[in-house]
C-alpha cells in the first residue's frame, strides 16, 4: 500500500488532532507529486462523503422508530461512494457517527496543511501535481455523475455533491479574484463586477465537458468570455495537444490567466486575449469547440451567435453552453444537446448544412 494511504488511515483514527503534524510531515518527506495529489484529492473527496454519511444517517434516524446501526448503514456506501477508497473500508466498517465527525475535522486540517506545502513547491512540481489531481478529480466526477443519474441504485436522502469541492485548487493557480477590478463598469456588458469565483465554471463542469467532448488530437478550443482562465488552464494541463484561446473583455482577468499559464509553461498552446466580442469588426476565429458560460448582454449574444452559425456553413463545430447560454442555441443550426447536471451543461453539435 502507498505510504500516504497508511498515513491517512492513521490520521483518521487519531483521537487528538494536536498529534496530526507528525504523520503529515512523514507523508511530505516520502511522497512524490502523484502520491501527494492522491492524498489531497482523496482527503477532499472522503470529507465530502463523510458529510453525506452524517446527513444521511441523521435523516434515516429521524424517520426510523429503531436505532440505525452504523455498521449496517455504512455497507451501502462501501459499495458505491466509497468503492474507490478500498484501503479505507475497514476504517469505515469499524467506525461510528462520532468517528465520522472526528475524521471530518482531521480531513479539513489535511487539506489546508497540504495546500500550504504545495504552494511553496516549484512550478514544475505544481504542474505535475495538478495534472495528477485533475485526472483523479475527473474519475470522481464521473463516479458522482453515474451515482446521481441512476437514482434506483442510489436511493439516498442526502446526495453526494462535489460541485464546488475542489475550488481550493484556484489557490495553486494563484487565481486571485480582485474585488471590483472592473474600473469603469460598462453597463452594456455583463462583466460580473466583484463576483470573483462565482463568474467561473466549476472544475466539475469543465472536467465533465472535457470528458464527453472527446476531442480529437490537436483540435482548436475557444472560450468566449474566458474570465480568469480556469477552462484554459484545465484544458492546457489535461490536453497539451490542443490549441486553446480565451477571449475576455476585462484585461485584468486576462493578465491573471496569462500569469498562471506562463508559470505552468502552458503558453505554447494556451493563450488569453483581451477582446470585446461585441465589437462587430472582430471576427471569431474558426475552431472545433466553443465554450460559452452565460456571458453576454443580449445584443452581444446575438452578435456572437450569428458568427457561430456562420461558421457551421464551413465546418462541423461543437458549442458547450453553461447556464442560460443554451437559450440562445437556435434549433435550425444545432442538434438536440447532450445534457448534464439537469441541463446546466449542454453540448450542442452543429447540423450538417448545405454549402452556400
* 231 near ligand SAM (CB under 6 A): yes
For 301, counting Cβ atoms within 10 Å of its Cβ (0-12 exposed, 13-18 middle, 19+ buried), the class is buried
173 binds ligand SAM (CB under 6 A): no
Alpha-carbon span 104 to 99, nearest angstrom: 9
Task: From 127-135, 143-151, 159-167, 244-252, give the range in contact with ligand SAM by CB under 6 A.
Answer: 244-252
321 binds ligand SAM per the rule CB under 6 A:
no
Q: Exactly one of 293, 301, 333, 334 binds ligand SAM (CB under 6 A); which one? A: 293
Contact pick of 165, 201, 245, 312 for ligand SAM (by CB under 6 A): 201
Tell whether residue 31 is a contact of ligand SAM (CB under 6 A): no
Among the candidate windows 58-66, 86-94, 98-106, 183-191, which touches ligand SAM by CB under 6 A?
183-191
Question: Helix, strand, or coil here: 95?
Answer: coil
249 binds ligand SAM (CB under 6 A): yes
Nearer to ligand SAM, 80 or 309 (CB): 309
Is 212:318 a contact under the CB 8 Å cutoff?
no
Shortest distance (Å) from residue 201 CB to ligand SAM: 3
CB of 229 vs ligand SAM, minimal distance in Å: 8
* All residues at 6 or more sequence positions from 189 whose CB lies less than 8 Å from its CB, including other chains: 249, 276, 278, 296, 297, 300
Q: Are 285 and 222 in contact (CB under 8 A)?
A: yes
What is the smallest separation between the CB atom of 279 and ligand SAM, expressed in angstroms?
8
- Determine if 340 is a binding residue for ligand SAM (CB under 6 A): no
348 near 318, Cβ under 8 Å? yes
Nearest distance, CB of residue 191 and ligand SAM, angstroms: 4
Q: From CA 355, how far away is CA 311, in angstroms rounded? A: 11
42: DSSP letter: H
Query: Is there binding between residue 225 and ligand SAM (CB under 6 A)?
Result: yes
Round to whole Å and give the CA distance between 175 and 171: 6
227 binds ligand SAM (CB under 6 A): yes
Q: With contacts defined by CB under 6 A, name the span among 15-23, 166-174, 245-253, 263-271 that binds ligand SAM.
A: 245-253
Q: Are 9 and 107 in contact (CB under 8 A)?
A: no
Specify the DSSP element, H or E, that contains 222: strand 220-224
Looking at 97-169, list the stretches that DSSP marks H as alpha helix, in order from N- to C-terminal side: 97-119, 123-149
Using CB under 6 A as the binding criterion, the count of chain residues that bind ligand SAM stands at: 29
Stretches 43-51, 192-200, 211-219, 263-271: which one binds ligand SAM (CB under 6 A)?
A: 192-200
Q: Is 83 helix (H, G, I), strand (E, B) or coil?
A: coil
Site for ligand SAM in 51-70 (CB under 6 A): none
Nearest Cα to 115, choosing from 178, 44, 51, 179? 44
Give the residues across from 318 on adjacent strands.
289, 349
Residue among 140 and 222 whose Cβ is closer to ligand SAM: 222
Contacts with ligand SAM, residue ranges (CB under 6 A)? 189-192, 199-201, 223, 225-227, 230-231, 247-250, 253, 275-278, 291, 293-296, 300, 322
Amino acid at each position: 500500500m502507498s505510504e500516504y494511504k497508511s498515513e491517512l488511515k492513521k490520521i483518521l483514527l487519531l483521537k487528538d488532532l494536536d498529534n496530526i503534524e507528525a504523520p503529515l510531515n512523514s507523508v511530505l518527506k516520502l511522497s512524490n507529486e502523484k502520491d501527494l495529489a492522491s492524498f489531497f484529492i482523496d482527503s477532499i473527496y472522503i470529507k465530502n462523503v463523510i458529510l453525506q454519511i452524517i446527513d444521511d444517517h441523521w435523516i434515516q434516524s429521524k424517520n426510523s422508530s429503531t436505532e440505525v446501526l452504523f455498521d449496517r448503514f455504512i455497507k451501502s456506501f462501501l459499495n458505491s461512494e466509497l468503492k474507490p477508497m478500498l484501503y479505507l473500508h475497514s476504517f469505515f466498517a469499524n467506525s461510528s457517527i462520532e468517528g465520522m465527525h472526528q475524521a471530518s475535522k482531521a480531513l479539513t486540517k489535511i487539506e489546508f496543511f497540504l495546500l500550504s506545502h504545495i504552494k511553496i513547491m516549484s512550478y514544475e512540481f505544481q504542474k505535475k501535481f495538478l495534472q495528477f489531481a485533475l485526472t483523479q478529480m475527473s474519475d470522481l466526477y464521473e463516479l458522482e455523475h453515474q451515482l446521481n443519474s441512476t437514482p434506483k441504485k442510489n436511493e439516498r436522502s442526502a446526495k453526494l455533491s462535489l460541485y464546488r469541492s475542489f475550488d481550493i485548487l484556484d489557490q495553486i493557480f494563484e487565481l486571485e479574484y480582485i474585488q471590483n477590478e472592473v474600473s469603469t463598469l460598462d453597463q452594456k456588458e455583463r462583466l460580473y463586477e466583484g463576483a470573483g469565483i462565482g463568474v467561473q465554471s466549476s472544475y466539475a463542469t469543465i472536467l465533465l465537458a472535457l470528458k464527453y467532448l472527446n476531442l480529437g488530437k490537436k483540435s482548436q478550443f475557444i472560450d468566449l468570455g474566458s474570465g480568469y482562465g480556469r477552462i484554459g488552464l484545465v484544458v492546457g494541463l489535461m490536453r497539451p495537444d490542443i490549441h486553446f484561446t480565451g477571449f475576455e473583455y476585462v484585461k485584468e482577468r486576462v493578465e491573471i490567466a496569462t500569469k498562471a499559464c506562463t508559470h505552468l509553461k502552458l503558453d505554447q498552446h494556451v493563450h488569453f486575449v483581451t477582446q470585446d466580442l461585441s465589437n462587430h469588426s472582430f471576427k471569431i476565429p474558426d475552431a472545433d469547440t466553443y465554450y460559452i458560460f452565460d456571458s453576454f448582454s443580449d445584443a452581444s449574444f446575438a452578435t456572437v451567435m450569428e458568427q457561430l452559425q456562420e461558421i457551421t456553413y464551413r465546418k462541423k463545430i461543437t458549442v458547450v453552453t453553461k447556464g442560460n447560454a443554451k437559450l440562445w442555441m437556435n434549433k435550425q443550426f444545432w442538434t438536440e444537446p447532450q445534457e448534464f447536471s439537469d441541463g446546466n451543461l449542454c453540448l450542442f453539435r452543429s447540423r450538417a448544412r448545405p454549402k452556400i
